Structure formats: structure tokens, C-alpha cells
Amino acid sequence: MNGAKQAVSAAIFLLGFALALSAVAPGAPAQSADNDKKLKNRTLAWNPPALDSPIPGLSSSPPCDLNAVLAQAGERTTAMVSNLQNFTAQENISYRSQDLQTFAIQFGSEAYDYVVVFQRHGDKPIVDERRRAPHGTPSSVAAESRGLPEMVLLFLPAMQPDYEMKCDGQASWDGQPAWLVEFRQRTDRPSRTFGFHTLKGTFPAQLQGRAWIAADSGEVLHLETGLMHAIPAIRMYHLYLSISYAPVRFRTRDVRVWLPRTADVYYDYDELQNIVYHTFSDFLLFSVDTDQKTERPKSSAPPAP
């Protein structure tokens, strides 16, 4: 059996499909071509984040006020949902499926027009996340990773109580001072953040991980997470995410938000190791009209090679 073709796709439970898309507005300037090329051509290797490994340079001075850090992160995340609303980007996906001896079963690279629409239903965000292959290019299982932009929503005030959180101290991410916050799904709370949708049904998943939260602003700079427990019923034994965020300024609305720049996914499914690298660029902001039929904005730039 080709495990890559049969792989179960990860999906955030907060996904929804309620909005229609309309006019695309100009967005932030693209990153440098050299930097984009470097990110897109990263070497695919089984190197998931070691969630229990020590962090170099971690310091307990100054002391961390966890309540204040979480309050600020909650404000920033709420503002992201309110200010951002909807965006499109260019996405490059590189993937590799290998056996336990690291022999490649399937590999490749694909480009997509990527669309994310946010909506709120009470205190719960609903997210519509879609990909369109340019020129009718057939998509692979690599395109089925869902919920990458929404992972940061676990820091929404309404979602934080689902987790045990603690602050390990001050660290640094890309030279920026940050608080290192660990999180772990509480066993007495439902798993609302992450799950797997399969032909056998829906399987909630408990997460643990850590986040680098900017000390001056409360923005999430980097997030690493993984499954607390395997799910043998669907042969999903390990899954890890490593997501790095970067600031994007949308000129037409004069807003600046932090969005995923790269998202690396590693998972053991059946008897195969799967590695999927996502790289995002050329972000655009667009408006919403719920009375119009859903249409997908055209790309403002050619897809990455």
C-alpha cells in the first residue's frame, strides 16, 4: 500500500466554509528572491522538533509573569482574527514519504494559490482554508495538510483554558527576545484544537508543545507541537509541527499581522515517515461579501518553480 496516498490529513476542528470571496487588495511587498529560493529548497529530512530538549540561552532572569504573557498573546491573537479576516498567498510545498530505512517512496514539489478566510461564530473562529493548483495541475496528498495558520488560535482567551501552560523563562528567536511558553492539553477538557478526519470517523488529538512569544508585543514568533499520544486506530503514531511566523503589512488596511512563513510537518503513518515543508510568500488581503458566490482570487504573481 502506498502510505503517502493513503495518509490521513490533519485538520483543525475550527475549520468552516461559510464565506464568499471578492476583490483582492494589494498586500505586503514580497521577500527577497534569494531568501524565497533558499526557503523553498530546504533539504527534506526527518528532523522533527525535540519538544523536551533544552533551549540554548534560556534564562530565568527577568522572571516571567505567565498571566501577563498569556493576556498579551491573547490580545494579539484576537487582533489578528479581527484585523486580518482573510488573505491569500503563494504556497510552495515540498514533500517526501520514506520507509523506516529512509528509502524514498514518493517525493516532489508543488505550487499553489492559497486562500484563508476567517469568520467568528460567537467566541469561536471558523476558518476556510483552500488551495488551488495553477493551470489545472493535479494535487498530491501533500496538499491535504490543513489548519496551519490556525494553530496560533490556541492562544485565544477562549481556548487557553484547554491547556496547562507554564513559562520556562526568556529565550530568543531569530535574535528577538521572547518568552518560552510550554503548553499541554488538559485531560479534563475536550480536545477542540486538533484532530483527524478519516473514513472511520473523526479522532480528536491531544497536543503538547512550546511557543516563543515576543517579549515586547506578545506575538507568537515560533511554535512547535506534537501529539501527546499515538492514535493506533488510524495508524497515526507520531505527528509534529514546526511553524515560524513573520510580520506582514497590508497597505490598503494599514494592518500588520504575523502569519506563517514556513510550516514543517512530520508524521509517522502506517509504516512510513512523511515530511512536508510549506513555504508562504506574496501575501494579499481581500474583502468578504457573504452574498456573493464563492470565487477564488487569481494570483498576483506566477507560482514558484
**Residue-level pLDDT at 46:** 92
Residue 77 lies in a domain: no
Number of domains in the chain: 1
In angstroms, the CA 231 to CA 302 distance is: 40
53 occurs within a structural domain:
no
- What's the pLDDT at 86? 76
Domain-embedded: residue 141: yes
Residues of the chain with pLDDT under 70: 1-41, 84-85, 119-125, 135-145, 251-253, 287-305
CB 262 within 8 A of CB 49: no
Q: What is the pTM of this model?
A: 0.79
b (16+ CB within 10 A) / e for 112-122: bbbbbbbbeee
Q: Residue 275: how many CB atoms within 10 A of its CB? A: 21
pLDDT of residue 33: 54
Q: Give ∠ CA 6-12-14 in degrees, rounded to 5.
A: 140
pLDDT digit string (tens) for 6-59?
333 333 333 222 222 222 233 334 444 555 556 656 789 999 999 989 999 999
pLDDT for 232 = 92
- The whole-number pLDDT of residue 85 equals 66
304 within some domain: no
pLDDT at 37: 58
The whole domain housing 257 covers: 3-44+84-288
pLDDT for the residue 140: 58
Q: Looking at the domain assignment, is residue 59 inside a domain?
A: no
Neighbours of 246 (CB within 10 A): 16
Residue 106 within any structural domain of the chain: yes
Q: Are the C-beta atoms of 16 and 128 separated by less than 8 Å?
A: yes
Q: What is the pLDDT of residue 129?
A: 79
Gap between the Cα atoms of 13 and 183, Å rounded: 18
What pLDDT sits at residue 256?
A: 80
Longest distance between any two alpha carbons in the chain, whole Å = 54
In a domain, 98, yes or no: yes
